[in-house]
Amino acid sequence: MAAAEQTVEQVDLSRSTVRELNQRLHDAADGGPQSWRITHPNGLHAIGAGINAPLELEIDGHVGYYCVGMNKEATVRIHGNAGVGLAENIMSGTVTVDGDASQSAAATGRGGLVVVRGNAAARCGISMKGVNIVVEGNVGHLSGFMAQKGALVVCGDAGEALGDSIYETHIYVRGSVAELGADCIEKELGEFHTAELTGLLAEADVDANAADFRRYGSARKLYNFNIDNADAY
Amino acid sequence: MCGIAGLFSKSASFEQRLGDHLSEMLIQMADRGPDSAGVAFYRNPAPTGSSKLTLFSPEPQYDWDLIAGELSAAFGGSNGPEVRASHAVIVAQTDADDAGRWVLDNHPELRVMSAGQAIEIYKEKGDPREFVERFGLRELSATHALGHTRMATESIVTTEHSHPFSTGLDLCLVHNGSLCNHNRLREELRREGITIQTDNDSEVAAAYLTWKMREGSSLTEALESALDDLDGFFTFAVGTADGFAVLRDPIACKPAVMSESDEWVAMASEYRAIAVLPGAEDARVWEPDPGQVYIWEKEKV
């Protein structure tokens, strides 16, 4: 086993199907290659979905929809762009995209870290529930919509309706915000949040100063925050 | 769900192989729209003073030579017919409006799929992979082309309801999405004298652009006003004599990817369709911003 763990398993998706690859990645939870290099992803869907082991994955090229969805423990690096729903419902581990990510990156993510070196499109971190997201570029409209937990760090600009109907996620933006969503307000960047942000930037290997960011969060004024409405649920 | 593919050649040598490349793109988008497929190719412009029609007949053994002969008798010598499956391309020695009207008046059993100088529209219900081979699309050279694979939501599955929809001479539109206000808008456009042939929502978008441009808007202006007047979800690709335009609605639920290499500019619903192009791995790839009009055109001499 020791020898197998040291070698890098190569999978060429122009020769093998995503279904075969994903089955092998799932089987690796019970032993087998721990380090993988995937070539010719060619925009295929659901590459590496459902990994449940501390594997190392390098993907050379652009991936399609729902890449490494539900990821648990694996460290994934995508040398290209990602399609809709990157690392959807990520549980833990780290997913890094060298290029851009399409809409709904890290949607509903419960844990782990997602790093986008380029821009993320609309709905980044929609309904996030504990994942941390660091975007070096910009994010599109409705990012952090109904975001419940975790942190969304945007080193560039944010589009319209940022943090609409947000719960307890911490949002940090260095650039401009086109428009804040309903019930999302700017908040003080205190000591706790500066430390959290500094830690996330370091973890994501981003050279930026926490003091240059502004923090946004929930005003907690929407209907669901009012105790008098508790009976309605 | 539907699939869109658009391809624009930046070199004369790539034009020769454009049909093959667009076919490969369309096949990648087949599972986004398995019920119908269609393409618009811009190729072999008709000489000045003449025009090109693409005609459709549901009748398998239709006598296209007869139509070409009658067009020739009516307007002088005509070229064609160049028959591809259920469609035929005929060049008539008159302008496209006259030629189209002649077909409607004399052969109401036919449908004019496109009219103009360079445009040829082919579309058919059925599997996109079979469509590509039946119509012999791979052998077609073209300066640029659009393709569409349809998964119907708003109207029935027929060849007439397939995309692209012609939006006027040398203009066409393909659509991924659905429009909510198409019934009211269809009535308004008909009152303005715009011809709409089906109950399809996307045809209304095409007709809307035709109307706006008839009223003096440029294509960019027409698309920008579509953002206000069309209620619904859309990624549009619009083919023109010189190139193509792309527009996504501001909500941007419907995907689009664009890419550019030294040889071509491409747009598609997903990167999968671009990955099959030569040099795709080294091409610039990006997602068009919502509510923003993108246009590629040949440099006008």
One digit per residue, pLDDT tens: chain B, 301 residues? 899 999 999 999 999 999 999 999 999 999 999 999 999 999 999 999 999 999 999 998 999 999 999 999 999 877 779 999 999 999 999 999 999 999 999 999 999 999 999 999 999 999 999 999 999 999 999 999 999 999 998 889 999 999 999 978 999 999 999 999 999 999 999 999 998 989 999 999 999 999 999 999 999 999 999 999 999 999 999 999 998 999 999 999 999 999 999 999 999 999 999 999 999 999 999 999 999 999 988 875 3
Give which of A114, A181, A184, A182 is closest to A154, Cα–Cα.
A114
Find the closest chain B residue to A82 by CA distance: B271
H/E stretch holding B64: helix B64-75
In angstroms, the CA A68 to CA A51 distance is: 7
Question: How does strand A170-173 pair with strand A149-154?
Answer: parallel
Please answer yes or no on whether B290 and A81 come within 8 Å at the CB atom: no
**CA–CA separation, A78 and A69 (whole Å):** 13
Pick the CATH number of B2-40+123-297 from 3.40.50.300, 3.60.20.10, 1.20.140.10, 3.40.50.740: 3.60.20.10
Q: Does A100 touch chain B (CB under 8 A)?
A: yes
Contact B285 A62 (CB under 8 A): yes
pLDDT bin (cut points 50, 70, 90) of residue A232 is: confident
* Residue A113, helix vs strand vs coil: strand
Tell if the CB–CB gap between B272 and A122 is shorter than 8 Å: no
B180 labelled catalytic = no
Res B123: pLDDT: 97
Q: Report yes or no on A7 lying in a domain.
A: no
Q: How many domains does chain A have?
A: 1
pLDDT band at A230 (very low <50, low <70, confident <90, very high): confident
- A81/B271 Cβ within 8 A: yes
Three-state secondary structure readout of B141-210: CCCEEEEEEECCCCCCCCCCCCCCEEEECCEEEEEEEEECCHHHHHHHHHHCCCCCCCCCHHHHHHHHHH
Q: What is the pLDDT of residue A107?
A: 98
> For the domain bounded by B46-117, which CATH number is listed?
3.30.70
The span from the CA of B44 to the CA of B90, in Å, is: 12
SS3 label, residue B30: helix
Q: Which residues from chain B sit within 8 angstroms of residue A44, using beta carbons?
A: 272
**Interface probe, candidates B29, B31, B272, B286, chain A, greatest A C-beta count within 10 A:** B272
Domain residue ranges in chain B = 2-40+123-297, 46-117
CATH of the domain at A61: 2.160.20.60
Q: Who's near A170: CB < 8 A, 6+ residues apart?
A: A150, A151, A152, A193, A196, A215, A217
Q: Tell me if residue B35 falls in helix, strand or coil.
A: coil
Across the interface, do B275 and A81 touch by the CB < 8 Å criterion?
no
In a domain, A163, yes or no: yes
Question: Using alpha carbons only, how large is chain A's radius of gyration in Å?
Answer: 18
- CA pair distance A177, B180, nearest whole angstrom: 30
Q: Find chain B residues with C-beta within 8 A of A120's C-beta.
A: none
Task: Map tokens 């036919």 to a residue.
Answer: B110
pLDDT at position B78: 72
* Paired tokens of B291: 């509510």
Query: Distance from first CA to last CA of chain A, Å, rounded?
Result: 53
B257 contacts on A by Cβ (under 8 Å) = 102
| pLDDT tens, residue by residue, A34-60 | 999 999 999 999 999 999 999 999 999
- Give the range of the structural domain holding residue A102, as residue numbers without chain letter: 43-232
Residue of chain B with shortest Cα separation from A121: B287
Chain A nearest-CA residue for B273:
A43
How many other C-beta atoms can be found within 10 angstroms of the C-beta atom of residue B133? 13
Nearest to B271 among A62, A103, A141 (CB): A62
Q: Please give the structure tokens belonging to residue A16.
A: 């093998």
Asked whether the predicted pLDDT for residue A3 surpasses 70, the reply is no
Tell me the nearest-neighbour CA distance from A41 into chain B, angstroms: 9
Instruction: Assign A65 a pLDDT band (cuts: 50, 70, 90).
Output: very high
Q: Answer whether A102 touches B (CB < 8 Å).
A: yes
- For residue A233, what pLDDT is reported? 73
A181 interfaces chain B, CB cutoff of 8 Å: no
CB contact (8 A) between residue B271 and residue A64 = yes
Model confidence at A131: pLDDT above 60: yes
pLDDT at residue A6 in the model: 65
Q: How many CB pairs under 8 A join A and B?
A: 45
Classify residue A72: in a domain, yes or no. Answer: yes
pLDDT on residue A229: 87
> A43 vs B255: CB contact, 8 Å cut-off?
no
Is residue A12, in this structure, part of any structural domain at all? Answer: no
- Residues paired with residue A134 on neighbouring β-strands, in sequence order: A115, A153
Q: Is A83 on the interface with B (CB under 8 A)?
A: yes
Residues from B in contact with A at Cβ < 8 Å:
250, 252, 255, 257, 270-276, 281, 285-287, 289-290
Which one-letter amino acid corresponds to residue B63? Answer: D
Hey, are the CB atoms on A122 and B286 less than 8 Å from each other?
Answer: no
- How many other CB atoms are there within 10 angstroms of residue A37's CB atom? 14
- Could you give the residue ranges of the DSSP H alpha helices within chain B? 12-16, 18-28, 64-75, 96-106, 128-134, 182-191, 201-214, 219-229, 272-275
Structure confidence at residue A1 as a pLDDT band (50, 70, 90): very low
Neighbours of A126 (CB within 10 A): 22
Q: Is A115 on the interface with B (CB under 8 A)?
A: no
